[in-house]
A and B are shown apart, each in its own frame.
Chain A
Amino acid sequence: MMGVEIAALMGFFGLTGAFALVGTVLAGWMAWRIVEKAGLPGWAGLGAILLTLTGIGSIVPLVLLWVFAFMRWPRDEPAAGTAAGFAPAGRPTGGPHPPTPAALAAPAMALADRRGWQLTGTLAGGGMVALAIDGTSGSYVITGAPAAQASDLSVPDPSVGKPHARLLMAGTRLGLEDLGSPGGTFIDGARLLPEHGPRDISGARAIRIGSVELVLSRT
């Protein structure tokens, strides 16, 4: 008896069989996850899939697919980095060093922890690298070239760009900005792109610069 009711309900929604039901549920679940990864609410993706069950048919979901593909995703908004107190900095202009970023905004509240930061890791050749960020400079440049200035942090590895990324200090917080190096910059496994701007890495554990894994710790 129950099966008849389920069949009637499925027929009402245009689901012709178990495969259609499973397919719709699966598609809704995956659409939920995809739009969430782009920074949009998951129900928007689920709703787009469920629209195919209505009289509107598949035209509206197709339009929504195009809108989703070409719209600006919240994931790409640099607002998060700005809100964290890191002013967005300009892109490198091709010189030996990128321009110094604008003055960093003051932290929202004073923090008692005045320790510095340290990035340690192992190079592909087996050597160790230890980068000390003591806060004497507001901005440090991570580069594969030998350090030319006090604010240069050299990581002698072929996968590291010259320059590769910029570390920013704001109060006791540490920020990281990718400078567009092809080797890539990763924070806890997630890729940091130049358009993301400076991101707060105070709570991060592992930073990857090119192929060099660095562990972030306090000194």
Chain B
Amino acid sequence: MTWTWLAVLLGLGSFAMAATMTIVLIGYLLMLLVLIIPTWRICTRAGFSGALSLFHLVPLIGPFIVMAVLAFSAWPNGEAARPLISQGRRS
């Protein structure tokens, strides 16, 4: 009798664990979409490939890679910090 109850409990436990993992995985994927969609648009507006935003899929350092590229490389579509109008420099 005791062994039967133990088997039931173990079965329920593994089911609960699988359900929890599925929910966590879905939540993680939704969270990634929430990050990737706006980052894709930012990358394309800056002049980079939108696929750069897929670095968000890399755990921990992925977002830092995307931010570093956007922050420290020249934007092909121009930057406000490097104005296209060169003021104060006369030849």
Question: What is A's interface to B at a CB cutoff of 8 Å?
Answer: 23, 26-27, 29-31, 33-34, 36-40, 62, 65-66, 68-70, 73-75, 80-81, 84, 187-193, 196, 199-205, 216-218
Check A191–B71 contact: CB distance below 8 A: no
CA distance A200 to B41 in the complex (A): 29
Residues of A within 8 A of B39 (CB): 65, 69
Check A33–B72 contact: CB distance below 8 A: yes
Residues of A within 8 A of B14 (CB): none
Interface 1/0s, chain B 51-73, versus A by CB < 8 A? Answer: 00000000000011001101110
Residues of B within 8 A of A218 (CB): 91
Minimum Cβ distance to chain A for residue B11 (Å):
36
CA distance A201 to B80 in the complex (A): 16
A-B residue pairs in contact (CB < 8 Å), sample of 7? A33-B81, A68-B38, A187-B84, A191-B76, A192-B84, A193-B78, A203-B90
Kindly report which residue of chain B lies nearest to residue A65, judged by CB atoms.
B38
CA distance A199 to B86 in the complex (A): 9
Residues of A within 8 A of B38 (CB): 65-66, 68-70
Check A37–B80 contact: CB distance below 8 A: yes
Q: Give the one of B39, B74, B79 with max A CB within 10 A.
A: B79
Residue B85 CB within 8 A of the other chain: yes
Check B84–A190 contact: CB distance below 8 A: yes
Cβ-defined partner of B90 (8 Å) among A73, A191, A202: A202
CA distance A187 to B90 in the complex (A): 14
Count CB-based A-B contacts (< 8 Å). Answer: 109
Residues of A within 8 A of B81 (CB): 33, 36-37
CA distance A75 to B88 in the complex (A): 19
Minimum Cβ distance to chain A for residue B2 (Å):
43
User: Given known contacts A33-B81, A190-B79, what 13 new A-B pairs fall within 8 Å (CB)?
Assistant: A27-B63, A27-B64, A37-B75, A40-B80, A65-B35, A68-B42, A73-B80, A80-B85, A187-B84, A189-B74, A201-B86, A202-B90, A204-B89
Check A69–B42 contact: CB distance below 8 A: yes
Kindly report which residue of chain B lies nearest to residue A113, judged by CB atoms.
B90
Residues of A within 8 A of B34 (CB): 62
Residues of A within 8 A of B83 (CB): 80, 190
Residues of B within 8 A of A73 (CB): 45, 80
Check B91–A217 contact: CB distance below 8 A: yes
Q: Given A203-B87, A203-B91, does the pair A196, B78 have CB atoms closer than 8 Å?
A: yes
